[in-house]
Structure 1
Amino acid sequence: MARPIRVLTALALTGLLAACSAARPVGDFGRAAPSWTHDVAMPAAGDALSGMRGEPVSDFNRTDQEEEMHNRVWRFLVAAHAKDWVFDSSVELQRTRIIPPNKDEHYTVERYYSWLKRTSYQSSRTRYATVGSHIAADLDTLPTTFAAICAVIEVDRQRSVAYAGLGRGLPPDRGDNLAARKYENDAFIAWFVRALNYRYSSYDFALDNLLVETPHEQSLAVDEALRRMSGFVSRANRRDFCGDGVPHLSGGSVVIPSRYQHSGDREVVLPK
Structure 2
Amino acid sequence: MIRGGGPRLPLPLVSLLLAATLASCAQEGDFGRPAKSSWNGLIETTGSLAAAERGLMVSASPLTDDEEVLRDRAWRFLMPAQGRAAFEDALANLTRVRALPTAWRPDDVAAYHDALLDQGFRSPVSRYRRLSEDATADGRLIPPFAALAARVFEADAMRLRALPLARSLNEDDLREAAMRVAENRCLVAWVRLEAGLRVTRYRYALEHFLVEMPGREAVPAEQALAFLEGRRRLLDPLLPPEAAERCGLAEPEAVAPAPRVVVKD
Aligned ranges for residues 187-202 of structure 1 at < 5 Å? 187-202=186-201
Provide the rounded CA distance (Å) in 1 between the counterparts of 2:125 and 2:9: 58
Provide the rounded CA distance (Å) in 2 between the counterparts of 1:58 and 1:31: 22
Greater RCO (CA < 8 Å, at least 6 residues apart)? 2
Structure 1 residues 164-189: Cα deviation after superposition (integer angstroms, max 9, x where no partner): 322x4312211111111122112211
Contact kept? 1:46, 1:96, Cα under 8 Å? yes
**Residue aligning to 2:115:** 115
Provide the rounded CA distance (Å) in 1 between the counterparts of 2:146 and 2:48: 26
Q: CA deviation at 1:126?
A: 1.7
Structure 1 residues 146-166: Cα deviation after superposition (integer angstroms, max 9, x where no partner): 112111111211111111322
Q: CA deviation at 1:93?
A: 0.7
**Residue aligning to 1:43:** 44
Structure 1 residues 205-226: Cα deviation after superposition (integer angstroms, max 9, x where no partner): 0000000011111111111111
Contact kept? 1:65, 1:148, Cα under 8 Å? yes
Provide the rounded CA distance (Å) in 2 between the counterparts of 1:36 and 1:48: 16
Q: CA deviation at 1:248?
A: 5.7
Q: CA deviation at 1:52?
A: 2.0
Provide the rounded CA distance (Å) in 1 between the counterparts of 2:164 and 2:241: 20
Structure (1 or 2) with the larger CA radius of gyration: 1
With structure 1 as the length reference, what TM-score do the two structures score?
Answer: 0.81
- 54 and 37 in structure 1: CA distance in 2 versus 1, 3 angstrom threshold: same
Identity %: 26
Contact kept? 1:10, 1:44, Cα under 8 Å? no
Q: Which amino acid aligns with 1:212?
A: V
Q: Which moved more, 1:249-258 or 1:95-104?
A: 249-258
- 179 and 118 in structure 1: CA distance in 2 versus 1, 3 angstrom threshold: same
Q: Which amino acid aligns with 1:153?
A: F
Q: CA deviation at 1:11?
A: 4.0
Contact kept? 2:136, 2:224, Cα under 8 Å? yes
Q: Which amino acid aligns with 1:49?
A: A
Contact kept? 1:200, 1:230, Cα under 8 Å? yes
**Residue aligning to 1:270:** none
Q: Which moved more, 1:93-102 or 1:180-189?
A: 93-102
Structure 1 residues 51-105: Cα deviation after superposition (integer angstroms, max 9, x where no partner): 22222221211111110100111011124662359x432221112221124444x
Q: Which amino acid aligns with 1:114?
A: D
Aligned ranges for residues 67-146 of structure 1 at < 5 Å? 67-79=68-80, 82-84=83-85, 87-104=88-105, 106-146=106-146
Q: CA deviation at 1:3?
A: 6.2
Provide the rounded CA distance (Å) in 2 between the counterparts of 1:192 and 1:215: 32
Provide the rounded CA distance (Å) in 2 between the counterparts of 1:9 and 1:75: 30
Contact kept? 1:60, 1:181, Cα under 8 Å? yes
With structure 2 as the length reference, what TM-score do the two structures score?
Answer: 0.83
Aligned ranges for residues 48-63 of structure 1 at < 5 Å? 48-63=49-64
**Residue aligning to 1:34:** 36
Contact kept? 1:10, 1:46, Cα under 8 Å? no
Gaps of 5+ in 1: 242-246, 268-272
- 15 and 89 in structure 1: CA distance in 2 versus 1, 3 angstrom threshold: closer
SS in 2 for 1:130: helix
